[in-house]
């Protein structure tokens, strides 16, 4: 809690966050706002008495993607302990990509023995840009490489041994 208080105090000092102290039935309550024009207008309206803040009117729900718990479990199974920073990135991924894509990208990372979440994000970005292929990851077999050169435009020149 001390770390949180120190962090909020620093944010207020640097003007990234605005603090508003209001008297309440249980004593003074401090409210924090992100320093935006809309927040400044809201604080002015609260001070003018146009808006009354009550605990019942303050939204405390956090919107979480439905697949968030599954993606957290998937991360911990393949990559290790979940940190708050990574948790936020996972929520972004869960909101952006279909759950099946994320699971498949994690499988691809496991096949490549990549132990980095960034690898999974790059796979998902590539699938978004280039389209998702349904091929097995890895190199072409030797036979496929031969066919590519022998069956191409200059295949009549190349010799197969």
pLDDT at 136 over 60: no
63-94 pLDDT, tens digit per residue, is 545 556 788 888 888 888 888 888 888 888 88
pLDDT at 57 over 50: no
Question: What's the token pair of residue 114?
Answer: 């990549």
Domain-wise residue ranges, the chain? 2-57, 64-161
Distance between CA 160 and CA 129 in Å, rounded?
A: 37
DSSP state of 139: P
Distance between CA 19 and CA 31 in Å, rounded?
A: 6
Distance between CA 148 and CA 111 in Å, rounded?
A: 25
Within 13 A of 144's CA, how many CA atoms are on the CB side? 4
Distance between CA 148 and CA 64 in Å, rounded?
A: 48
pLDDT at 61 over 60: no
Higher pLDDT among residues 74 and 154, named by residue? 74
């Amino acid at each position: 809690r001390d770390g949180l208080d120190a962090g909020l105090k620093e944010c207020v000092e640097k003007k990234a966050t605005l603090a508003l102290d209001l008297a309440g039935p249980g004593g003074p309550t401090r409210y924090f706002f992100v320093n935006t024009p809309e927040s400044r207008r809201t604080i002015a309206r609260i001070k003018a008495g146009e808006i009354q803040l009550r605990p019942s009117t303050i939204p405390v729900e956090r919107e979480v993607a439905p697949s968030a718990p599954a993606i957290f479990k998937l991360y911990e199974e393949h990559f290790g302990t979940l940190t708050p920073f990574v948790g936020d990135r996972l929520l972004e991924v869960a909101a952006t990509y279909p759950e099946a894509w994320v699971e498949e990208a994690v499988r691809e990372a496991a096949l490549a023995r990549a132990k980095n979440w960034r690898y999974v994000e790059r796979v998902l970005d590539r699938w978004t840009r280039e389209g998702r292929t349904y091929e097995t990851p890895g190199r072409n077999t030797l036979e496929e490489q031969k066919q590519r050169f022998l069956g191409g435009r200059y295949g009549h020149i190349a010799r197969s041994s």
